[in-house]
Structure 1
Amino acid sequence: MNLAQIGGEIHSRRIQVGLLQEHVAKFSGLSRVTINQLENGTLKDLGYSKLKTVLDILGLDVETVQPAGMKSALEVVARSVSTSYRDAVTPPMLSAMLRSGVAPEQFHPHLMALLDETPLPIVVKAIAEAATPDVPAKKIMKNLSLWATQWKVCRAVW
């Protein structure tokens, strides 16, 4: 859920409980303009503690949910990193390489693409999918970090 969606929920709840924007503004210590921008989806940023205050006043809460859509990040990553190469990486192969930290040389360019170009939220989801009780996500992150150092990838997050 993004800030604009939360703002829409705040607007609906405020109307439902019979409050004006001015009331919510006074109760939360924010300006009426800020409340208006929040409700209309035009507010660019609002700190968590300020948002939490508004939500508490209206009896709302923020739930964390995983967005629907992507079924398998491993599948998305495997397809994405294989696009420019003759040898394709399959999701099970990618998962095994991530867990073991061992990558056949013909797949080094694929993994470099993973490390340098794949959006980080997809990488994180792929790591979670590849992790097992025997090989936790922390170990996979360590493998990625070692590859990034060894191959001198450009993305500095590793």
Structure 2
Amino acid sequence: MNLAQIGGEIHNKRIQAGLAQEQLAKFAGLSRVTINQLENGTLADLGYTKLKAVMDILGLDMETVKPSGLKSALTVAARSISTSYRDVITPDMLSTMLRSGIVPVQFQPHLMALLDETPLQVVVKAVAESATPDVPAKKIMKHLSLWANQWKVCRKVW
């Protein structure tokens, strides 16, 4: 598979995940122009580390198949953001909050942990798992961005 073919797969996964090119670029530490050129097949070269960063965010490996191991990102995310708190968020609760954009006050610290501390590939996959035809991943990503701005989270990618 060549870089142009990989770029096409990255484009498809980015759209499926509801990410804008600029968001993916921030998550991977690259410029939006680089992501655009990668997706359009006009990028002449991109180092392994940079390409791997993009693909890891989207849950792809170098063969553009989902790597084994992360079966349910919602389960992993819900468990990890509930670790430090008495109130536990279930995967279904997390999915509902992501889709609705509504977070009960007692769960705001949990969602702040999701935005600040959860690995981005887990967040992106949890968004994709939560998306429905009525609430696409792009809308869920807007919820995350809105919360990040509202709660002034430390991770600057939002």
Whether these two folds match at TM > 0.5 is yes
- Between the aligned partners of 1:136 and 1:48, the Cα distance in structure 2 is 30
Match of 1:147 in 2: 147
1:115 correspondence with 2:115: yes
Task: Give the 3-state SS of the residue equivalent to 2:155 in structure 1.
Answer: coil
Kindly report structure 1 stretches of 4+ aligned residues shifted beyond 3 Å: none
1:127 correspondence with 2:127: yes
1:1-158 paired onto structure 2 within 5 Å: 47-48=45-46, 63-158=63-158
Task: Give the 3-state SS of the residue equivalent to 1:68 in structure 2.
Answer: coil
Q: Identity over the aligned pairs, expressed in percent? A: 75
Match of 1:32 in 2: none
- Between the aligned partners of 1:81 and 1:48, the Cα distance in structure 2 is 34
The count of corresponding residues between Structure 1 and Structure 2 is 101
User: Higher Cα Rg: structure 1 or 2?
Assistant: 1
- Between the aligned partners of 1:67 and 1:133, the Cα distance in structure 2 is 25
What displacement does 1:71 show?
1.2
Map Cα deviations across residues 104-151 of structure 1 (whole Å, 9 max, x no partner).
000000000000000001100000000001100000000000000000
What displacement does 1:48 show?
4.6
* Larger RCO, structure (CA 8 Å, separation 6 or more): 2
- Between the aligned partners of 1:108 and 1:48, the Cα distance in structure 2 is 38
What TM-score does the superposition give when structure 2 sets the normalisation length? Answer: 0.61
Q: Which runs of 5+ in 2 are unaligned?
A: 1-44, 48-61
Counterpart residue identity of residue 143, structure 1: H
What displacement does 1:69 show?
1.0
Counterpart residue identity of residue 151, structure 2: W
CA RMSD of aligned residues (A): 1.6
Counterpart residue identity of residue 82, structure 1: S
- Between the aligned partners of 2:123 and 2:103, the Cα distance in structure 1 is 17
- Between the aligned partners of 2:106 and 2:147, the Cα distance in structure 1 is 14
- Between the aligned partners of 1:91 and 1:79, the Cα distance in structure 2 is 8
Map Cα deviations across residues 63-115 of structure 1 (whole Å, 9 max, x no partner).
31000111100000000000000000000000000000000000000000000
